[in-house]
Every structure is written in structure tokens, then in C-alpha cells.
Amino acid sequence: MNIRWLFSVLFCVVLLGLAPVVMASSGPTEALKPILTDIMAIIGDPNLAGDEQKDVRRTKIMKIAAQGFDFTEMSKRVLGKTWRNINPQQRDYFAEIFTKLLENAYIGQLEDYSGQKIVYKDERIKGKKAAVSTIVYDKEMSLPVNYVMLEKDRGWQVYDINIEGVSLVRNYREQFKSILRKENFDGLVKVLEEKNASFNNEES
């Protein structure tokens, strides 16, 4: 099964909110609701529709997504032990380019939204961690999706997404691990910079 396609479908659903939901409990799940509502308003705004408004639309979506997704925590976990060996400036820059990679890889899929539905099944909380289990319905197909969250000063935020047992963080960590073995941290940064540049070239 195509992993990027799975995560693309997921990002469409996560960022759009999309459809009536069945709530099983409150807490972390409830923390996502205003994020989804605001992003739905952006996607549905006719003044932001079309390719000419793409950059404005994307900026607004990512600004809101940053309130519900902890991209720094994601960055820390995809780097693993390398995160401990780099300085604060390197951490900030890596989080910036990794977040940009996620934006470039998945946000364009929002234009392909075609009526997926998300149903919230249950919520498990253990200390400062939680997992929100959902089912994503896309036509005749259904996908189990878990949102892994941490409670910090800003409240509950997503730091990993799991589809059918495939973790977004683990998937990227394995890819980056092989690059780090060959090219070290600076090499990985260069790979991400080049990948982001290639997305920009494709869209220009």
C-alpha cells in the first residue's frame, strides 16, 4: 500500500475536519475541534479559492495547524538521538525545514478533497500522553487512524499520526536514519533543503 497516499488522505481529513463526527469522549479529541473548524472555514472561503490564492491559503492553513500539531516534537522524534547532539539553532532550523517538507508533501492534497468522513471511536489517556482512535471513510474504503498527542503548556497537541499501524514519525525516522549514517546532520539538512526546493520548482 502506498504510504504517501495514506498520509495524504489522512492530512486531508485531519486538516479539514470534514464531516459529522461521533464523539466518544472529551479531552484531547475536543482540543482538535476548533482547529478543524477554522481550517474548514479557510478551505470553504471562496475568496481564497483558486491557484492564485494558493500561497495565502496555505499560509493560513499552516498557521492554524501549528496550534494543534507540535511540529517541533515531531522533528525531535524523527531525528532521535541526533536531536540531543545539535545546538538550539540547528534544532530550530531543522524543525522549520521539516515542517516545510510536510507542508509541501501533503497540503496540496487538500484540493483533492472528495467527501471523506471521519468518525471518532475512542480516546486513551495515560499521564501526559493520549491516543485518539478514528476511522476514516473514503467511498467504499475505511482506514483506522490514530492521533498520538502530548499535553504541554499549550494543551493537547498531535505529535504523530498512525495509519493502519504505520507511524508518520517512524516512517520519516527510518528514512532519515539511513541518510544520517552516510551524510551526518548537515547532509540531512541539505537533502531536505533540496527536496523543498524541488517542490517549489514543480509549482512555479
Q: Which residue has the higher pLDDT, 75 or 109?
A: 75
Contact (Cβ atoms closer than 8 angstroms) between residue 131 and residue 124? yes
- Residue 116 has what pLDDT? 63
- pTM of the predicted model, to two decimals? 0.78
pLDDT tens for residues 111-145? Answer: 555 556 777 888 899 999 999 888 877 777 788 88
User: What pLDDT is attached to residue 136?
Assistant: 74
Coil, strand or helix at 134: strand
- In the chain, what are the domain boundaries? 3-203
Is there a contact between 35 and 130 (Cβ–Cβ < 8 Å)? no
- Looking at residue 173, its pLDDT comes to 96
d(CA 32, CA 114): 21
Residues near 63 by beta carbon (within 8 Å), at least 6 away in sequence: none
Strands 155-163 and 166-167: antiparallel
> 3-203 domain in CATH 3.10.450.710?
yes
Alpha helix ranges (H) inside the chain = 3-16, 28-43, 54-68, 71-79, 88-106, 168-203
Residue 32 CA to residue 189 CA, distance in Å, equals 31
Task: Compute the CA torsion angle 198, 199, 200, 203 (nearest 10 deg).
Answer: 120
Which of 4-8, 105-109, 159-163, 173-177 has the weakest average pLDDT? 4-8
Give the pLDDT of residue 113.
Answer: 53
Residue 5 has a pLDDT of 47
Evaluated on CA atoms 187, 193, 199, 204, the torsion sign reads: negative
How confident is residue 43, by pLDDT bands cut at 50, 70 and 90? Answer: confident
CB 168 within 8 A of CB 160: yes
pLDDT number for residue 204: 59
